[in-house]
Structure 1
Amino acid sequence: MRLSVLLKEIQYTCLRGSEDIDVAGVAYDSRRVETGSLFICIRGALADGHEYAGDAVAKGAAALVVQEPVEVPEGVTVILVEDTRYALSLISAAWFDYPARKLKTIGVTGTKGKTTTTYMIQSILEAAGHKVGLIGTIHCITGKRVFSSENTTPESYLVQEYFAEMVDAGYDCAVMEVSSQALMLHRVAGVMFDYGIFTNIEPDHIGPNEHSSFEEYLECKRQLLRQCRVGIVNRDDRHFDQMIRGHTCELETYGFSEQADLRAEEARLVAEPGYLGIRYHVKGLLDLPVEIDIPGKFSIYNSLAAIAICRRFGVTEENIRSALKKAKVKGRVEMVKVSDEFTLLIDYAHNAMSLKSLLTTLREYKPHRLVCLFGCGGNRSRSRRFEMGEISGRLADLTIITSDNPRNEAPQAIIDDIKTGIGKTEGKYVEIIDRKEAIAYAIHHGEPGDIVILAGKGHEDYQIIKGRKYSMDERVLIQEILEEDRKAQ
């Protein structure tokens, strides 16, 4: 493809060489450069692509895109831009022939609820006959392949590649999670979403290598409302006015508020042995009853956002209702049947805010006991351990402290930090380092009416110990425990 074609939507200066050349590929990792490639020098947290410009040229790069001058041999075209990450996104879109423009695109951002909302949208639209691609935290579905994700929102080149695969597979819709990091790092720059959803916002992802302040975090998030045609926003969020500041899209709101365009009324919890759910009635722009097999008030918000999108697609009320009843999300308050007497769930809650929200939600179902099993990741903030320990100690009737991803730390040291947090409360706890043994303890000691939550791992199917990744899926562990129990009877 002609370099000038790839650059047509970018402000740039040609420092040397000519834009009137053909390039054979686009690369942002010097190890992937091939003869004739365009190499884009990205400055990252751990490495600066400008330092590898020479390596890229040695491997045959025909042109470079930089945001600062570099020394390279004669005959190599050098293009200077203000921000190479932004340039990578627009160049990638051009390289794949703007695939997002050939799809109905739905971007979902927010502190919580992104994953569940995207799966609900996919479930409803597919039930209505649409072919829907997905990019998110758990995995990506492109029509060509289904694979586990490394990031909530991948690098911009990959986003465009996945969109292109969806187009080639005959898909007509794409729904994706859009993280604050992705917006900050321009991973979806140049994509004008048909619909943008803003689920909620609370202080999170603030610290080194993330966001310097809540205001910066918020500003990154609300960029989506300047990058979509229709914005669908949670009217009940306490930061609503800040969330919509500077929006350029048509706005639609959802929530319990009388001011919401699409609102929930008559919400009722549904609790049976081994099952938790919620029922409510949609009012406003639609009028229909809904039941969801995912517990908690937050499930109402997630489903309302999904319903708002699907209304725009003309999905029938019957399709909406039946699809929502079947919608399941791996590792998000995921019910796993182990007993007719108590309920066991798996959830990804892995920080203080998400654990507090989860336990508070489950408390509303008035369990006989609320049992919380969790650990904390190693080589991460110790304060998270104290906070999660204190929250579980206050909100759970019994905490089972175990191992998560200890990484290069001693599991016992992490557990001791969690116990320090629990020590600020009167909460009861047991400690069992081995996660399978801890889960077995939770199952064997479950009492009628209990809700048992396995928190922290969610959709993850591995454990990182001393730098090595081992297979470990809690669903597999549960089945192994149940099978061992059967054999022992």
Structure 2
Amino acid sequence: MDMHTLINALTVEEIKEDKKVEITGLSYDSRKVESGHLFVCVKGFKVDGHEFARQAVKQGAVALVVENFVNDIEVPQIRVADSRIALAALADAFYGHPTKKLKIIGITATNGKTSTAFMTNAILENHGYKTGLMGTIVVKIGDYAEPSDLTTPESLDLHRFFKQMVDEDVTHATMEVSSSALELNRIGSVDFDIVTLNNISREHIDLHESFENYLEFKTSHIRKANKDQIAVLNLDDDYSAALVDHTEAKVVTIGVERQDADIRCTSLDLSTGRATFTVEIPEDLHVNGVHIPKQQFTINLATPGFHSVYNSMVSIGIGLLCGVSVETIQESLAEFVGVERRFEIIFEEDFKIIDDHFANSGNIDVTLGTLEKMDYRKLKLIYAIRGDRGVTVNKENAETIAKWASKLGFHEVIATRSISHVTEKDFVHDKEVAVFLKVMEEAGIQVELYDELPDAILDGLKQAEQDDIVLLAGCQGMDYGAKVALEQLQVLRPELDQDKLLQPLKKRVAGNA
């Protein structure tokens, strides 16, 4: 492709060494530059691509996109105000504007992006659409899938994936949109059809420096949506509800608590942990040429948890907006068994073991809110303290646990630093333990603290009795909790069907293959 044809996609401030060159590819990583590439010098949090410009030219780059001209380089340099915006625009143009040829659905939330994206994909796929999926776990293009490196890929990789989807006759693509992707413009030049925002709680403050910054980026794709797009917003979440009048997009609202939503959840039963409810649409909806008639129908979820109700409501809204029948939506959600470590029931005989990533205060609220609606005797909470996340996150998590302790009637927590089960970047520091213990002490909650994850889990399992729930709660260190717990049960309960006992682990291996 001729360079000048390609840079028509950019707002160019100045071109240095202007001459005609042919562009055979794009790159932002100097290690991946090949002969004929246009190299985009991206400024990151830790690394500045301008420092690798000479290396990129040495490897074959025939032109550079820069924010500041690099001295003593003889290839053309195109100066722009923001190289990340430029990278997205260039990628979109280079790959032939692929998102204009797809139905693109962007899923945003602090909690539940992955589950909602997988639910949505299941509904669309069962309808007969050929689908794409991008997120924390996998990049799926039709029948092909590969593990993900990032929740939302860099813009160049993102548009390349979309081009592959077009080539494979994919029609509908669902993607998770992270706050960092919004801040770093990874979704730049993506032509979304439907954007969603389910919930916002305090998370990733370390990356965005403040909750206010996080909120600004997290809501930006809704606020910037245009009249040709549809926004699915959750009226039960104050931050999501506040956007109803602050977007040009056509808005469709969902609600579980709020009964003035366009799509409502009624008659909710969570007594078993797996929800049954009625979806009620009280008035005909006409949204950007789509007609959804007034109606009501029953949903039976295979995935447990109160959060699954919210995730499914978003997915139901998307499905209806994409022309999926109610029958297909019902069947899809009845069959969809969920995503690993999202209120995953891994054992349910005389007592239950539930595995949940318990990442932040919002996630903790939803998880323990589900337990409040379930029938059980006692809760054994085994919590992996979050490492290298700072005092603030651990204090807020502890305060949220303490708030629920009185509601759920538990007075002790088994906690672990998971020393042998975390990497250096997730190591639990003394100050993080100290703030957790302080909040628990002030709340009158006894803590049994273990250095190692297996010791903590074994303690909880030995205490478990008929109709109890053992909750494996936490990120990083607790990622290994299910495996540890089920292997310990093999020893503690040899009378159990061993093959059936380990089935959840086998499903995980198969799902990640």
TM over 0.5: yes
Which of 340, 353, 361 is 2:362 aligned to?
353
Residue type at the aligned position of 1:407 = E
The answer to whether the aligner puts 1:421 opposite 2:418 as a matched pair is no
Residues 29, 110 of structure 1: alpha-carbon distance in 2 compared, 3 angstrom cutoff: same
What is the match of residue 372 of structure 1? 381
Shift, 1:332, TM fit:
0.8
Helix, strand or coil: the match of 1:7?
helix
What is the match of residue 399 of structure 1? 413
1:42-441 to 2 correspondences below 5 Å: 42-74=42-74, 76-143=75-142, 145-207=144-206, 209-214=207-212, 217-218=215-216, 220-227=218-225, 229-240=229-240, 242-256=242-256, 257-271=258-272, 276-284=273-281, 285-327=294-336, 328-337=338-347, 339-396=348-405, 397=410, 398-404=412-418, 405=422, 407=424, 413=430, 414-441=432-459
User: Going by fraction, where is helix more abundant, 1 or 2?
Assistant: 2
Shift, 1:410, TM fit:
6.4
Which digits, 9 at most, give the CA deviation of each residue in 1:89-113, with x for residues without a partner? Answer: 1111222222222221100112222
Residues 358, 483 of structure 1: alpha-carbon distance in 2 compared, 3 angstrom cutoff: same
Q: How many residues align?
A: 471
Shift, 1:371, TM fit:
2.0
Shift, 1:381, TM fit:
0.5
Greater CA drift, 344-353 or 10-19:
10-19
Helix, strand or coil: the match of 1:112?
coil
Shift, 1:239, TM fit:
2.9
Shift, 1:263, TM fit:
0.8
The answer to whether the aligner puts 1:454 opposite 2:455 as a matched pair is no
Q: Tell me, which stretches of 5 or more residues in structure 1 are unaligned? A: 465-471
Residue type at the aligned position of 1:277 = R
1:11-50 to 2 correspondences below 5 Å: 11-18=11-18, 20-50=20-50
Q: Percent of pairs identical after alignment?
A: 30
Question: Aligned equivalents of 1:181 and 1:224: distance in 2?
Answer: 15
Contact kept? 1:265, 1:282, Cα under 8 Å: yes
Helix, strand or coil: the match of 2:353?
strand
Which digits, 9 at most, give the CA deviation of each residue in 1:168-221, with x for residues without a partner? Answer: 3332211011122211211111112111111123344334x3154526623542
Contact kept? 1:222, 1:244, Cα under 8 Å: no
Residue type at the aligned position of 1:357 = V
Contact kept? 1:392, 1:399, Cα under 8 Å: no
Residue type at the aligned position of 2:45 = A
Residues 99, 478 of structure 1: alpha-carbon distance in 2 compared, 3 angstrom cutoff: farther
Helix, strand or coil: the match of 1:125?
helix
Residues 20, 286 of structure 1: alpha-carbon distance in 2 compared, 3 angstrom cutoff: farther
Contact kept? 1:135, 1:176, Cα under 8 Å: yes
Helix, strand or coil: the match of 2:471?
strand
Residues 319, 448 of structure 1: alpha-carbon distance in 2 compared, 3 angstrom cutoff: same
Shift, 1:393, TM fit:
4.2
Residues 244, 51 of structure 1: alpha-carbon distance in 2 compared, 3 angstrom cutoff: farther
What is the match of residue 467 of structure 1? none
Which digits, 9 at most, give the CA deviation of each residue in 1:86-136, with x for residues without a partner? Answer: 011111122222222222110011222222211111111111112221111
Shift, 1:249, TM fit:
1.4
Shift, 1:417, TM fit:
4.4
Question: Aligned equivalents of 2:79 and 2:163: distance in 1?
Answer: 27
Residue type at the aligned position of 1:61 = A
Shift, 1:225, TM fit:
4.8
Residues 300, 19 of structure 1: alpha-carbon distance in 2 compared, 3 angstrom cutoff: farther
Question: Aligned equivalents of 1:409 and 1:299: distance in 2?
Answer: 28
Shift, 1:477, TM fit:
2.7
Helix, strand or coil: the match of 2:190?
coil
Q: Tell me, which stretches of 5 or more residues in structure 2 are unaligned? A: 282-293, 497-513
Residues 72, 92 of structure 1: alpha-carbon distance in 2 compared, 3 angstrom cutoff: farther
